[in-house]
Amino acid sequence: MTGPGVTNLNVEGGAGGSDAVYEDLAAMGGLTDDVAGQTLTIAMTSHRYLADADVVASGILNPAGLVRFEGALLGALDGPSGLTATSAAIGLRGLALQATNQAYQLTDDLNAQALAAGRWLAGAAIGSTGLLGTAAAAGGTAAVIAADVHLNYDGDWQRWLVEHPGMVDTLLGMTPGTLSAMGFPSTLGSLTGLIADAYPDGDAQLLDKGTATDPRATTPPGGLGDLIDGLDFRNSENSDVRGEGSNIDVKAVKDANGNITGYIVDVPGTNVWNLPGGDKGSANDFGVNVDGMAGNETVLQKGIDQALQRAGVPADAPVMLVGHSQGGIIAARAANDFVTNGQYNVTHVITAGSPVGNIPVPDSVQVLSLENNGDVVPHLDARDNPATDNRTTVTFDNQTGTAGGNHAISGPDGQDANYEAAARQLDGSTDPSVVRFRDGLGNFTGGTSVDTHQYKVERKQ
């Protein structure tokens, strides 16, 4: 059944996430160690006063006073509550904080690994039965699902899938185990790479499509909702016809004095669903999806690089990449490469409906990922996004009953819905992770004007 719109926003990772708490524990442990070292140094240094020549000489005139002084100092330094014992206790507290931090992180890592291993082993158990056994197991599972679809969903397979998107994670996670048990050793990464090899990437050709004039592209964004609205406009302008449309843009955000404070690059999703050997002209085809998920530089990323060069973006200027679906994959991948290689100062990335859990991102880049719980696409990497302090994931419910509706940026005629509606709700969120992300957007959402230049990226033929 379809729902009432965007509800149940849930935030993981970021400044308020568990990894941020872990870092606080590690920092507290380190500071506590420092305090322990300093107090122990003071205690060791203070022992020299016990044998100080002047102190010892004073005993000739006041033997009783010397005894009392020596006893008091020894007690202060080495007594049960003395400085030495206190230093040791502080040191133990520091070790406990660090051990607690490591134990929590290890538990999280083991849980994630156990989930992946469980799926792999389930697939291996099926594959170990041989080709006929695997076929029988698959047929039995399909029969059970088909019965559920027929009895409870009136035969609507699409609605069943969007209400059970976790099946995508499970099936993808099981596939490598099944193939390995049948004599084809593999992982999900190696399978993705194998498919990517069937889609040669090629070189990018950048076509200048001029300056945008539509208000949705020329109005400076004021928040997350406006940023996703701008991405929605770019998505609507995208065309699969060679030489037409505009599949990326570069927005130069300016302050009241006309100074550029930051650059925003909008990257839309897939518009050509081709098999290997099919259309090779589009930079938004299925092959770019697979190449990006496999960790390869793609023709679309090369086009973004060329567009930033064409726009004259300095290497130290703040840059934000915003992408939907495939665009989010390429935005995250490009952010990693651009920052690692020192090409551009990518400070922020926003993804909407994108499988980016396996894509590494430098610690200096703040990432906000929006995922509709009923959207199948974010499940295509069979992994949850990392919940680090620089990666915030917001999941929400918006069940339309269709795969396209659950994956769309907005509703009919560009009205606020789905990913755009979720972003507008986040503009008013008080969650610490969301607030921290919004607070860092001043270079992109604090402008008074914006110049938007449009580009078409294609493969050279």
pLDDT tens readout for residues 314-352: 999 999 999 999 999 999 999 999 999 999 999 999 999
* 202 and 301 Cβ atoms separated by less than 8 Å: no
Q: What is the pLDDT of residue 147?
A: 84
Q: What is the pLDDT of residue 196?
A: 87
Rounded to whole angstroms, how far apart are CA atoms 403 and 304? 28
pLDDT above 60 for 25 = no
Rounded to whole angstroms, how far apart are CA atoms 379 and 406? 13
Please provide the size of the chain in residues: 461
pLDDT above 80 for 418 = yes
Beta pairing class for 248-254 and 449-459:
antiparallel
Q: Which of 350, 363, 324 is nearest to 426 (CA)?
A: 350
Residue 30 tokens, joined: 């380190």
pLDDT above 60 for 36 = no
DSSP, res 179: H
Of 90-99, 140-149, 279-288, 302-311, which range is least confident? 90-99
- Residues contacting 89, CB < 8 A, separation 6+: none
319, with CB counted inside 10 A (0-12, 13-18, 19+), is buried
> What residue ranges in 268-313 does DSSP mark as E strands?
none
C-alpha dihedral (221, 224, 226, 231), degrees to nearest 10: 100
Which pLDDT band, with edges at 50, 70 and 90, does 193 fall under? confident
- Residues contacting 176, CB < 8 A, separation 6+: 120, 123, 186, 187, 188, 190, 191
Give me the chain's average pLDDT, please: 82
Residue 282 tokens, joined: 């589009």
Which pLDDT band, with edges at 50, 70 and 90, does 376 fall under? very high
Rounded to whole angstroms, how far apart are CA atoms 458 and 248? 11
